[in-house]
Amino acid sequence: MPPRAIDQRLQDVFKKLNDDVITLSWKWQIVNALFDSEERVDILRQTAPSFFFACRMTFADDVFLTLSRLTDSSQSMGHDNLVIGRLYDELAEKEHPEFHKRLTALVAAARDACKPFWRHRHKRLAHNDLEMKLQYTAEALPGITIGDVSRAIKSIQEVLNTFNLYFFEGETYPGVFEGGGVDALFVYLKKGLEGFEKEKQQMLALHNPSNSPT
């Protein structure tokens, strides 16, 4: 039983949002791990640059869309949405007035942090804005940095963590997710490059016996 009484529906909403945010955080951790140093970027360029560039674009677009969905309005086109604002929508304000106020402020901050991603969703990801695609407008999409994404994710995590601490006295996001496999990937990529270089040297030696080691 949770330390504080919580409606089953609200508990279910939190759990589903929590699952989405954990997945989002995990994906972003993978992206950062793939491109977190010049050494790793160089290895990716030497092995399959087009593939890893496509991976980066796909991951980034997915993260942008997820940030937009999580901070969307609670209802659109007459349909309810699973969004972080749903946590205070369904919370009994009279029973938790101070917490409701705090949660509302945190959600507002998260929505502000995610506004640039909404523009990308509306103009580029969910829709192909004609004027922008044809470059008939001077309007430009907001630039997005790694820091912008990290701050947006952290602001959403703070909403879920605050809710979790209040009702369940636990934290949700330890900050490190095991099993991403990125470190293992680079081990094999390095081995592949080393093997390729060794094979190349062997082929050169076959064609130029005088250059082969004695």
Residue-wise pLDDT tens digits, 95-152: 999 999 999 999 999 999 999 999 999 998 998 888 888 887 767 788 899 999 999 9
Which pLDDT score, from 0 to 100, does residue 99 have?
A: 95
Residues 37 and 91 placed together within one structural domain of the fold:
yes
Of 75, 37, 83, 64, nearest to 121 by C-alpha is 64
Residues 107 and 70 placed together within one structural domain of the fold:
yes
For residue 92, give every residue at least 6 positions away whose Cβ sits within 8 Å of its Cβ, in sequence order, or none: 7
Which pLDDT score, from 0 to 100, does residue 175 have?
A: 57
> What range does the domain containing 132 cover?
8-177
Residues 161 and 207 placed together within one structural domain of the fold:
no
On whether residue 1 sits in a domain, the answer given is no
Residues 139 and 211 placed together within one structural domain of the fold:
no
On whether residue 3 sits in a domain, the answer given is no
| pLDDT (mean) for 194-207 | 83
On whether residue 2 sits in a domain, the answer given is no
On whether residue 12 sits in a domain, the answer given is yes
Residues 169 and 197 placed together within one structural domain of the fold:
no
Which pTM value belongs to this model? 0.84
On whether residue 204 sits in a domain, the answer given is yes
Measured between alpha carbons, how far is 159 from 117 in angstroms, rounded to an integer? 18
Residues 113 and 21 placed together within one structural domain of the fold:
yes
Which pLDDT score, from 0 to 100, does residue 89 have?
A: 92
Residue-wise pLDDT tens digits, 8-63: 999 999 999 999 999 999 999 888 889 989 999 999 999 999 999 999 999 999 99
Domains in the chain: how many in total? 2
For residue 144, give every residue at least 6 positions away whose Cβ sits within 8 Å of its Cβ, in sequence order, or none: 64, 116, 117, 120
Residues 136 and 192 placed together within one structural domain of the fold:
no
Residues 161 and 213 placed together within one structural domain of the fold:
no
Residue-wise pLDDT tens digits, 171-188: 666 555 555 588 889 999
197: exposed, middle or buried (C-beta count within 10 Å: 0-12, 13-18, 19+)? exposed
pLDDT reading at 214 higher than 80: no
